[in-house]
Structures are given as C-alpha cells and as structure tokens.
Amino acid sequence: MAKEPVRVLVTGAAGQIGYALVPMVARGAMLGLNQPVILHMLDIPPATEALNGVKMELVDAAFPLLKGVVATTDVIEACTGVNIAVMVGGFPRKEGMERKDVMSKNVSIYKSQASALEKHAAPNCKVLVVANPANTNALILKEFAPSIPERNITCLTRLDHNRALGQISERLNVHVGDVKNVIIWGNHSSTQYPDVNHASVKTSSGDKPVRELVGNDEWLKGEFITTVQQRGAAIIKARKLSSALSAASSACDHIRDWVLGTPEGSWVSMGVYSDGSYNVPAGLIYSFPITCKNGEWSIVKGLSIDDFSRKKLDLTAQELSEEKSLAYSCLS
C-alpha cells in the first residue's frame, strides 16, 4: 500500500540553504526513497517572488516523491499539519550590528514561530533548528512551545560532526564512510569541542582508534580542533556566503537518522535538551553523542572524559549559559 505523505516545513526556503535543501527532501534524501513528501515552504514577504520561483523549479523537476508544495509567507499556513519542521529562516548579522541586536531579532522570530508550531503542527512534530544562533534559537522555541515535548526540539551540529569526519578522513587518507564516533560537544559556534577520543576507523583488521592511527596528539589537540571550530568562517571567507550545500545535506542526515535510526555501534552528534548528562547544566540545548531508534534519540552514556575534554565541555556550556541569559534579556 502507498505510504501517506509526510509534511516537511522548511522556513527561510527562499534562502541559500533552503534552495539546496528542498530538492534533497523531494528526492528522498531526508526520509527515504519510498517516502512521499509534501513540502511547506515559508519565507517573509520581501522574498515572495523568489519563493514562488523555487516552487516553480520544484514543479519543473518533476520529483516522483513530491506530492504537493505549499509556498507561503503566512506562518500559520506554513506550520499547519507539519510532521517535520526544519527552521532555517532567521535574521543574519549585518555590518555594524552587535551580537545582542542579532539575538534580539532571532529571539522574537523563534518566539512567534514556536507559537505557530505549537498550535498548528501535527502531534509529535520533530523540529530541527538550523538558523544561528542554532542552540539558543532552539531553546527559545522550546520555551515558547511548552506543549511540544522537549525531546522533539533539536538543533543542527551534524554539520560540525561531518566536518570532523571529513578532517580525519583527509588526514588518514581513508574513506569518510569508514570513520565513526567522533563527537561534537556543546554549541554550534567556535567554542564547540570536536572530540576524537572514542572515534575509530574501519580497517581490514578491524576497527582501530583514530588517536592511535593519527599518532600525533599535537595535531588532534590543536589544528584538528580549530579547523573544525572555524570551518564555517573559512567557508564564508572562501564563498563570501555561508555554507549551504553541506548544511542542507547535514540537515537531511540529522532528520534521517532521527526518524530511521542510527546504525548499530555508531553514534552521531545532535543538539538536544540537556538532562544533566556529563555534568552539562540541565536546561541548555547542547550537542551530545546520540543514538536513535524507533524515532527517539538517546544520549550515549558512560563515555570517559579526560581533563582536557572536561575543560572544553565546560567552556562551551559556559558560552551557552551566557547566550541563554542574553536571549532572556532580549525578551524582557
């Protein structure tokens, strides 16, 4: 029997990530090659024409899995009945703007979109926040959508996770698909901690620890970490635009693994509501190692954390606590 279509909301759909993401969703890269979808695309009135252009292209591409497209600037119409919400829309930092000004604009966007999702999305809608500051936007969304279970609100750190896999694969000259179990801890910002202490590479003689194969602690504790932390800025410098295809692809990875499950023996990184695991303050949206099964995520427990890592976990938690206070000060 044919499957019922899943309704996927993409906000900021006329922007760069939106333009890369919607064809991936329509081709089955997010929910599988046998799952029909209906795309809901939201943007703001100045982007109406561009949004309609994206809709025209989706029609022209004749995607067999795409059963419908809603393109709108009405947040209620956009949110109605959605099963998955990928929140990409937001206010970018412009020249001369202070951090607080950007935070204030985004906090008010996420506050109002939280209410629309809470009232109009399908029950059990899964939410992924991509727009920066991703962790704190997700936290605001959670606070203002109290009836959406906190387990359903996440933010994107899978791009950072994939970047870490990519750096290890290049360094060791191994296929990226053979590297697993890196971890991104904390904020999607330059304080994030990319951790390879539990990562391994599949070899012809079994899985080998990344640390042993790299054999250079100085690189792992230095250049590897800073390259991953600053990769977003490096892309902006090179493209004069922030990452889009890799962000869109990682957003598909995040939702696909959440809905369809992570492979046995491996984990991914997701920004989720902290329950206090690893002594990360409860009540922050923080990136942890995560496994998924039957549409539910769980934090991987019991990993050893050395002193070097402890300091890095605490530093990024500290930044998130400060962002949380700043966000709340914008609300008052």
Q: Report the phi/psi class of residue 168: left, alpha or beta, with left for phi > 0 and alpha for psi in -120 to 50.
A: alpha
**254 catalytically annotated:** no
User: Counting contacts by CB under 6 A, is residue 132 touching ligand LMR?
Assistant: yes
User: Counting contacts by CB under 6 A, is residue 42 touching ligand NAD?
Assistant: yes
Residue 233, C-beta contacts closer than 8 angstroms, at least 6 positions apart: 190
Residue 56, C-beta contacts closer than 8 angstroms, at least 6 positions apart: none
Q: Where does this chain touch ligand NAD (CB under 6 A) — which range of 33-41, 60-68, 96-104, 243-251? A: 243-251
Q: How far is the CB of 120 from ligand NAD (least distance, A)?
A: 15
Specify whether the CB–CB gap between 34 and 5 falls below 8 A.
Answer: no
Specify whether the CB–CB gap between 133 and 189 falls below 8 A.
Answer: yes
Determine which residue in the list 22, 36, 41, 89 makes contact with ligand NAD, applying CB under 6 A.
89
Specify whether the CB–CB gap between 141 and 110 falls below 8 A.
Answer: yes
235 binds, among ligand LMR, ligand NAD, none (CB under 5 to 8 A by kind): ligand LMR
Determine which residue in the list 48, 190, 197, 242 makes contact with ligand NAD, applying CB under 6 A.
242
Find, among 279, 245, 11, 5, the residue nearest to 129 by Cα. Answer: 11
User: Counting contacts by CB under 6 A, is residue 109 touching ligand NAD?
Assistant: yes
The DSSP secondary-structure symbol of 92 reads P
Sequence letter at residue 10: V
User: Counting contacts by CB under 6 A, is residue 16 touching ligand LMR?
Assistant: no
Is 17 known to sit in a ligand binding site?
A: yes
Sequence letter at residue 212: E
User: Counting contacts by CB under 6 A, is residue 259 touching ligand NAD?
Assistant: no
Which residues carry out catalysis?
188
Contacts with ligand NAD by CB under 6 A lie at 11-12, 14-18, 42-44, 47, 88-92, 109, 130-132, 134, 156, 159, 188, 242-244, 247
Contacts with ligand LMR by CB under 6 A lie at 132, 159, 232, 235, 242-243
